[in-house]
A = this chain, B = another copy of it.
């Protein structure tokens, strides 16, 4: 493409903001936030270190411990007013040797890519080989009954719904297979489960993610299979319903390990006891370096505070960057944070979580009372120039949700980036640093900083 002339949308939007003096001074400062992020941000090089020098960091792993110590030092190096750890015991699940699987039909044996779901038991010392039965839903499984399931592997093969524009809805609609499939299958005597990867695209990456066992039900080994592998298996089952599926997994759950949330603060000058938290989760799945899930959210959160320092902005309220530990397989860090907030009688004005990837910003989803949501929506004219249009009720974040139980006034806010690419990488071996676009990452942190600035300046109850 070429551009001959310079009539542009954004120009028109800026002009439309020139209405009031208050809006004008805020728009100038928000513009400074974006300028600083787009020219001097540290987040991309910080993420490069986290992703490429530390790598995947599942709770309890040596890498998770490294990430804790490194992010603490990083925030200290920025001279934040206070940097500290919150001790929390976390689960310690390890994958062991790489998983293997194949489909056996007559004399044909075809390998397919699988990985253990997080928290799964192993297949034991030998591969698990059995007949396999395909279902699309948990209800379909229940209707089959014990006679058709006993002794078999259950293959859950309901794809994410591609018609959902917001891909998180498609994810939410297909997640029960992964989370509850093993328990429901075991109740009917199944010996294992294989679940279609929660991926909107056709490829060869299996996508892990946590499952839930029930202590009263036999724990059976649960694997994710790539979308291509799932299609192949389904196709082969149509011509040979008696084919065998064979897989081996060497994962195990070790005793809990001591770990930490990592917190940095800029102390408020006028209302230091009122807190605005912004965070991501420091742990990641082990298959990749966890760049989008959730290295980006962590590095953006640190950068929000660094941007304020760099712009000499002295917040009225205390601004806190929180790296939560163990979002992926326990939410222990999020629950510990809420527990300590309660014990310390902390007062959160708002908590913002970035855990939907480092993609171009689209807006913020909010769990808060309607008056607070409305107060935030009044800032739309200031945020729309930066592509932030989707500001309304929505999912906030797994790590900050426990806060609701202990601080009913806190507005819980989820940063909402564009969702189209997220499930290409989510929980898979391709969630790596090269998938992160520097500018998209920076626009995200600037969007978060702009909202934190407005929250800090105006609060949410009409008073300042």
Contacts and interface: CB of A to CB of B under 8 A. Distances in A.
Interface in A362-408: 362-363, 365, 367, 384-387, 389-390, 392-395, 397-398, 401
Interface stretch (A34-42, A126-134, A183-191, A304-312): A34-42
Interface string A315-331: 00000000000011000
Interface string A404-424: 000000000000101011001
A38 B160 CA distance: 12
A168 B3 contact: yes
Contact of A367 (B7, B13, B426): B7
Interface in A138-185: 162-169, 171-172, 175
A362 B392 CA distance: 18
A443 B164 CA distance: 11
B360 A13 contact: no
Interface stretch (A218-226, A344-352, A434-442): A434-442
A6 B172 contact: yes
A453 B146 CA distance: 51
A293 interface: yes
Contact of A165 (B3, B293, B438, B443): B443
A216 interface: no
Contacts of A39: 162-163
Contacts of A175: 2-3
B437 A12 contact: no
Contacts of A116: none
A311 B384 CA distance: 34
Given A35-B163, A165-B385, A437-B420, A365 B9 contact: yes
Contacts of A29: none
A70 interface: no
Contacts of A168: 3, 8
Given A1-B398, A437-B420, A166 B10 contact: yes
A210 interface: yes
Given A172-B6, A439-B200, A384 B394 contact: no
B395 A420 contact: no
Contacts of A169: 6, 8, 10-11
Nearest to A355: B1
A200 B13 CA distance: 23
Nearest to A3: B172
A1 B362 contact: no
A326 to B, nearest CB: 12
A107 interface: no
A12 B393 contact: yes
Interface in A200-252: 200-201, 209-210
A200 B2 CA distance: 16
Top-3 shortest CB links A-B: A389-B389, A1-B355, A9-B394
Interface of A: 1-13, 34-35, 38-39, 162-169, 171-172, 175, 200-201, 209-210, 293-294, 327-328, 355-357, 360, 362-363, 365, 367, 384-387, 389-390, 392-395, 397-398, 401, 416, 418, 420-421, 424, 426, 437-440, 443
22 contacts: A1-B293, A2-B328, A3-B171, A3-B172, A3-B395, A6-B169, A6-B172, A7-B365, A8-B168, A8-B365, A9-B166, A9-B392, A12-B393, A13-B390, A34-B163, A200-B439, A360-B360, A384-B389, A387-B418, A420-B437, A420-B440, A420-B443
Given A6-B172, A8-B169, A10-B166, 20 more contacts: A1-B357, A1-B398, A1-B426, A2-B175, A2-B210, A2-B398, A3-B175, A4-B401, A7-B367, A10-B164, A10-B169, A12-B392, A12-B394, A39-B162, A201-B438, A360-B360, A387-B390, A420-B443, A421-B440, A424-B437
